[in-house]
Structure 1
C-alpha cells in the first residue's frame, strides 16, 4: 500500500512539473513571436529563443515544484525551489531575456 501511495505522489509531482513547464512556455509565446518573427526592419532577436524559452520553462517548473512543496508542507524543499526560482528571475532580468527587437520609433525621434 505504501508503494502505491509513493507512486501516486511521484506521478502527481511529474504532472505538476509538466504543467509548470507548459505554463512557462505559454507565457513565453507572445515574447517569442514578437522577438523571432518581426521587429524593427525585420530584425530577429534570437536571444528571446535561446535564453528566454529555457528561463521561462525552467521558471515554470521551479514555481510548480515550490507550490507543490508548500502544499505538502516540505518547507526546506520549497525554500530550495524558491531560491532556484529567484536565481532564474535574476538571470532573466540581468540578461533581459524577453527584450525582443527594438520597437519602431514614431515621428520625431
Structure 2
C-alpha cells in the first residue's frame, strides 16, 4: 500500500495561489483600457463581472487539473522528487500558456469594444 505524500496539499495550494495571482495580474493589465474608458469615456463593465471571475476560477482550476493528471500519469514511472519536479514544470508551462491566451483574449476584446 502506497503512503500518501504529505507535501501534495501544500504544493496544490501553492500552485492555486500562484495561478490566481497570475490571473489577477493578467486581467488587471489587459482590462485596464476597457475599464478606464478608452473610446469617448465608454467603459466595459463586463470585463469586471464576466472576465475577472472566469480568469480567477479558470486559471487555477485548469492548472491544478493538469498538475494532478501529470502526477497521476507519472506515479509509477518516476521517483517522488522527479515526479514533483516534472509535474511542477508542466504546471508552470501550462500556467504561462493560459496567461498568454487570456492576455490575447483581453487584448482582442478591449480593442473590439474601444478601438483606438
> Shorter chain as normaliser: what TM range?
0.5 to 0.7
Paired position in structure 1 for 2:83: none
Check the 8 A contact 2:23/2:56 in 1, yes or no: yes
The separation in 2 between residues aligned to 1:73 and 1:40, in whole angstroms, is: 49
Paired position in structure 2 for 1:59: 58
Check the 8 A contact 2:34/2:114 in 1, yes or no: no
1:23 aligns with 2:22: yes
1:42 aligns with 2:41: yes
Check the 8 A contact 2:20/2:56 in 1, yes or no: yes
Paired position in structure 1 for 2:31: 32
The separation in 1 between residues aligned to 2:55 and 2:18, in whole angstroms, is: 13
Q: CA RMSD in A?
A: 2.3
TM-score (norm 1): 0.61
The separation in 2 between residues aligned to 1:66 and 1:19, in whole angstroms, is: 14
The separation in 2 between residues aligned to 1:24 and 1:30, in whole angstroms, is: 10
Over residues 17-73 of structure 1, what are the superposed CA-to-partner deviations in whole Å (9 max), with x where a residue is unaligned? 111111211221222201101211011101011111111111211222122112211
Give the 3-state SS of the residue equivalent to 1:40 in structure 2.
Answer: coil
Q: How many residues align?
A: 80
The separation in 2 between residues aligned to 1:63 and 1:69, in whole angstroms, is: 10
The separation in 1 between residues aligned to 2:19 and 2:61, in whole angstroms, is: 8
The separation in 2 between residues aligned to 1:55 and 1:103, in whole angstroms, is: 23
Deviation above 4 Å: which 4+ runs of structure 1? Answer: none
